[in-house]
Amino acid sequence: MQANGTLLFPAINVNDSVTKSKFDNLYGCRHSLPDGLMRATDVMIAGKIAVVCGYGDVDKGCAGALKQAGARVIATEIDPICALQALMEGIPVLTLEDVVSEADIFVTTTGNKNLIMIHHMKQMKNNAIVCNIGHFDNEIDVHGLETYPGVKRITIKPQTDRWVFPETNNSIIVLAEGRLMNLGCATGHPSFVMSCSFTNQVIAQLELWKERGTGKYEKKVYVLPKHLDEKVAALHLGKLGAKLTKLTPAQAAYISVPVDGPYKPPQYRY
């Protein structure tokens, strides 16, 4: 809309705030992926082979949680940088085809479509678990599954379905019908990390309202100014008992930042 000139008012894209994308996506999923798996299936994660499709922020949280619970995690990636990050954490990067018949748990996390297709599902081990914590229910080919000739759906409980393939009598367990499993099978992210996300939204609205007459924001999409992103974080430190160090004026001058921040250039990656 901005590119087309059809944006009617200034907007702030809080999804790209550090205190959203690097917190909610990462630490939220690190919590709610195992939560969803446990509530839906009670499966022992330790010892299992888990495939995480993608190694972005969401995936880093998911892969970390599964690894720490004792699973052997394998990542699939299209992006060589994210792939190299996975490798540096001891996570092999392979294609879904390489591992589809060996893994016990499959998680899609990409925001893309057509990750796990019906031809993959047919090759999986009996009772392999298939779920999505990325975006929409097109990461997993649920349509292909539903329309597969002779397939039988057995609902174990709401949001947990066993699908039996007629040729092999093998099943796969699909969570939340391919929709977000942490919402479908658990209660989503915990409130502390969502508070970071929602504080972003509130602070962005306050900022837009405060500056509504000053012309600071044109009819464009902005990211939240860095000092407000830092404010979101600062508001959450007290609950966890943290104490920040204060820069001296000499130190602030030495690294060319204001004493009260913002402390990092816009492109800093955290």
**Within 40-59, which residues bind a second copy (CB under 8 A)?**
42-49, 57
Q: Which residues in 62-89 are b (16+ Cβ under 10 Å) and which e? A: bbbbbbebebbbbbbbeeeebbebbeee
Considering only residues 176-195, where is the footprint of a second copy by CB under 8 A? 186-187, 190-193
Q: Is 261 in the site for a second copy (CB under 8 A)?
A: yes
H-helix or E-strand spanning residue 119: helix 118-121
Task: Scan residues 133-172 and list those touching a second copy (CB under 8 A).
Answer: none
- Smaller CB separation from a second copy, 42 or 167: 42
User: Do the bridges between strand 160-164 and strand 171-175 make them parallel or antiparallel, or are there none, so unpaired?
Assistant: antiparallel
* 90-97, long-range: CB < 8 A, 24+ apart: 91/55, 91/63, 91/67, 93/55, 96/51, 96/53, 96/120
Nearer to a second copy, 5 or 269 (CB): 269
Q: Site for a second copy (CB under 8 A): how many residues?
A: 92
Region of 35-43, 149-157, 172-180, 205-213 interacting with a second copy (CB under 8 A): 35-43
Among 20, 27, 59, 140, binds a second copy (CB under 8 A): 27
Tell the residue number behind the tokens 């174990």, with chain if given: 156
Binding mask 211-250 for a second copy (x = CB under 8 A): ------------x-----xxx-xx-xx-xxxxxxxxxx-x
Separation CA 247–CA 152 (nearest Å): 64
Residues 6+ apart with CB under 8 A from 160: 40, 41, 173, 175, 185
Q: Which residue shows structure tokens 């492109």?
A: 267
Q: Which is nearer to a second copy, 81 or 213 (CB)?
A: 81
The one segment of 63-71, 140-148, 165-173, 202-210 that binds a second copy by CB under 8 A:
63-71
Is 267 a binding residue for a second copy by CB under 8 A? The answer is yes
Neighbours of 221 (CB within 10 A): 14
- For residues 32 and 189, the answer to whether their CB atoms sit within 8 Å is yes
Q: Looking at residues 67 to 106 of the shown chain, list those that interact with a second copy (rule: CB under 8 A).
A: 67-73, 76-85, 87-96, 98, 102
For a second copy, which is the closer residue by CB, 8 or 81? 81
Considering the complex, what minimum distance in angstroms separates the CB of residue 191 from a second copy? 7
